[in-house]
């Protein structure tokens, strides 16, 4: 297990540790904390949605709603942390969306909401990984999808 993976076992994983793993930076980091992690199996992450998010300026000025693609991005970043901490051979590599299946948006996400991302590893082989993800707000399903990513 890598040094970062050893640190990650101590939950919760804060933003500083997340930034050590992910290449994303403001304004595109969509994960604030990792609450739970099981190597090679699952991860639970948290995103606090604030009115200060830059996308709310245009989406939508009088009716702020978090863009669905950014909820998926947060899910992908959470899955990226799971993948990085589960496979020592991908440390330092970038990951890219390779596909999305079964995407369903179930609830709008607004400023003040807290998103809980729950992802389960379905398959990780070589440079490819596939996960099933769900995002909840106040215990209600907001979005679900199967995400595929490639590492390079």
Instruction: Return the structure tokens found at 54.
Output: 């830059």
Catalytic entry in 59, 107, 127, 134: 59
What's the distance, CA 47 to chain centroid?
9
How many angstroms separate the CA atoms of 10 and 36, rounded?
9
Verify whether residue 59 is a known catalytic residue: yes
Tokens 């948290």, located at residue: 46
Q: What residues act catalytically? A: 59
């Amino acid at each position: 297990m890598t040094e970062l993976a050893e640190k990650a076992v101590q939950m919760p994983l804060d933003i500083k540790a997340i930034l050590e793993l992910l290449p994303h930076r403001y304004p595109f980091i969509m994960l604030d904390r990792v609450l739970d992690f099981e190597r090679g199996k699952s991860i639970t992450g948290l995103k606090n949605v604030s009115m200060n998010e830059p996308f709310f300026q245009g989406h939508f000025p009088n009716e702020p709603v978090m863009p669905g693609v950014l909820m998926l991005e947060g899910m992908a970043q959470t899955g990226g942390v799971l993948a990085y901490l589960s496979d020592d051979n991908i440390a330092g590599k970038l990951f890219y969306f390779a596909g999305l299946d079964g995407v369903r948006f179930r609830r709008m996400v607004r400023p003040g909401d807290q998103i809980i991302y729950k992802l389960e590893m379905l398959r990780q082989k070589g440079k490819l990984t596939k996960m099933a993800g769900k995002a909840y707000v106040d215990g209600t399903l907001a979005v679900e999808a199967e995400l595929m990513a490639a590492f390079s």
